[in-house]
Amino acid sequence: MNQSEFELQLKKILKINNIELDDSQVQNFFEYYKILSEENEKYNLTSIKDLKSIILKHFLDSIMGLKLFEETSKKNELYKFDIIDFGCGAGFPLVPYKIYNQSIGKLNKIIFIDSNSKKINFLNILFQNLKFKNNQKIMTLHSRLENFNSTDLSSKLILVGRAVGEINKILSNIMSFLFKNKIEDAIFVYYAGPNFIIPENRIVKFYQSSKNIKKTIDVRFEISGKITEYSYQEKKINRKLAVFEIKNLK
Ligand SMILES: C[S@@+](CC[C@H](N)C(=O)[O-])C[C@H]1O[C@@H](n2cnc3c(N)ncnc32)[C@H](O)[C@@H]1O
């Protein structure tokens, strides 16, 4: 695949979906596609391999979801708080969105977490090759989210996740992580398929115990979620975006 063929396809598909990119953004997407394809030959990073599907199902889908979140939340949350891409795999959705909107990460940290070391190694190679106007706060981390411990996170967090697993399990991992890091408030932006049904808004009793904590601690989290729908084309694809507010009630 040469660069001009790639650019033609990318610009055509993004234009149909009202997304315009400048030359440096197009160049970043080309680097991403090239390195993803090369590394995918060595080990399995993604089962989606052909150019059109990568553009549609990885690049465009990633951009559309977080763009919708930004438009509907109207609170500039992606700028104010640290953002974690939880189970980021080969960087979806946050790398394409960061290429599209370079302003995120100016005032906050962007953290990519995955329990698979190969995927984190891939991201490290990728970030050496992408050019962001501002990339000093991008971190990659080989860890399970629920085991990640940091003293250096903003008081409220944005987590984003795509294809990370079953929703109740994901929410439970997030609560564990929030509890461990003493974070009381988080938003979780979850990319879901067209048939996704949001779990009822609820208060969850969450029991936390560990070797260091002698008795089980009873924590309550309030979880409320809302769904918005989006679609994109070449051929029409329908998607849902679920946004959860997760609060520790103590
Ligand atoms: C199917 S892949 C999806 C990757 C990417 N988000 C995407 O949309 O293409 C799921 C990824 O989540 C990671 N994962 C699953 N549970 C995790 C956890 N608790 N903490 C960190 N990573 C996790 C896996 O290692 C895998 O790379």
Write out pLDDT tens, residues 108-126.
899 999 999 999 999 999 9
Q: Is 113 in the pocket of ligand 1 (CB under 6 A)?
A: yes
- Could you tell me the pTM of the whole model? 0.94
At residue 17, the pLDDT reads: 95
Q: Is 43 in the pocket of ligand 1 (CB under 6 A)?
A: no
Taking the C-alpha atoms of residue 144 and residue 245, their distance in angstroms, rounded to an integer, is 21
At residue 134, the pLDDT reads: 67
Structure-block tokens of residue 94: 């946050």
At residue 211, the pLDDT reads: 60
Q: Atom 12 of ligand 1 has which residue's CA nearest to it? A: 87
Q: Atom 10 of ligand 1 has which residue's CA nearest to it? A: 164
Question: Hey, is 139 helix, strand or coil?
Answer: strand
Q: Is 173 in the pocket of ligand 1 (CB under 6 A)?
A: yes
Question: Low-confidence residues of the chain, pLDDT below 70?
Answer: 1, 134-136, 207-216
At residue 126, the pLDDT reads: 97
At residue 50, the pLDDT reads: 92
At residue 20, the pLDDT reads: 94
Burial class for 249, CB neighbours closer than 10 Å (0-12, 13-18, 19+): exposed
Q: Are 100 and 70 in contact (CB under 8 A)?
A: no
Query: What are the chain's domains?
Result: 3-248 (3.40.50.150)
Q: Are 242 and 226 in contact (CB under 8 A)?
A: yes
At residue 234, the pLDDT reads: 83
54 Cβ neighbours under 8 A, 6+ residues apart: 33, 36, 46, 48
Q: Is 145 in the pocket of ligand 1 (CB under 6 A)?
A: yes
At residue 213, the pLDDT reads: 57
Q: Is 115 in the pocket of ligand 1 (CB under 6 A)?
A: yes
**End-to-end distance of the chain based on CA atoms, in angstroms?**
55
Residue 225 dihedral angles phi and psi, to the nearest 5°:
-130, 155
Q: Atom 14 of ligand 1 has which residue's CA nearest to it? A: 87
At residue 215, the pLDDT reads: 63
Q: Is 91 in the pocket of ligand 1 (CB under 6 A)?
A: no
Summarize the chain as % helix, strand, coil (round to 5).
40, 25, 35
